[in-house]
């Protein structure tokens, strides 16, 4: 089982998930940010993103906002899933 930087399990289900496949930049980050605003500090959000600009920009942007990027996982369908812990 993998561990997150705070020692907890990163294999447990996220508190919320949003699927942003097909959503263009910067709207995918805006939707991620809005979802995080509805969550409590310490909760985790899984975000499904397209390759290219979305996977390059959204993880960087959430970190710039002060949130923790716990994991980036390529999926077999060519998409990516990131796991973010709200600051």
Total domains in the fold of the chain = 1
pLDDT of 12: 85
- Ranges assigned E (strand) in 15-63: 16-19, 44-49
- In DSSP notation, 63-85 reads HHTT-EEEEEEE-TTS-EEEEEE
Helix (H) or strand (E) holding 34: helix 27-37
CATH code, domain with 67: 3.30.110.40
What number of residues does the chain have?
87
- Per-residue pLDDT tens digits for 38-86: 999 999 999 999 999 999 999 999 999 999 999 999 999 999 999 999 9
Residue 23 covered by a domain: yes
Q: Which amino acids are annotated catalytic?
A: 25
Residue 10 covered by a domain: no
Residue 38 covered by a domain: yes
Structure tokens at 32: 């991620």
Higher pLDDT, 20 or 9: 20
Domain range for 29 is 18-85
Site of tokens 């709207």: 27
Angle between helices 27-37 and 53-64 (to 10 degrees): 40
Residue 3 covered by a domain: no
């Amino acid at each position: 089982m993998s561990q997150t930087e705070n020692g907890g399990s990163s294999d447990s289900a996220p508190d919320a998930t949003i699927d942003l496949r097909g959503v263009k930049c910067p709207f995918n980050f805006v939707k991620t940010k809005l979802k995080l605003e509805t969550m409590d500090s310490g909760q985790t959000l899984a975000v499904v993103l397209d390759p290219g600009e979305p996977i390059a920009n959204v993880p960087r942007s959430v970190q710039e906002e002060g949130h923790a990027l716990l994991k980036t996982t390529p999926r077999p369908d060519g998409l990516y899933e990131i796991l973010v812990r709200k600051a």
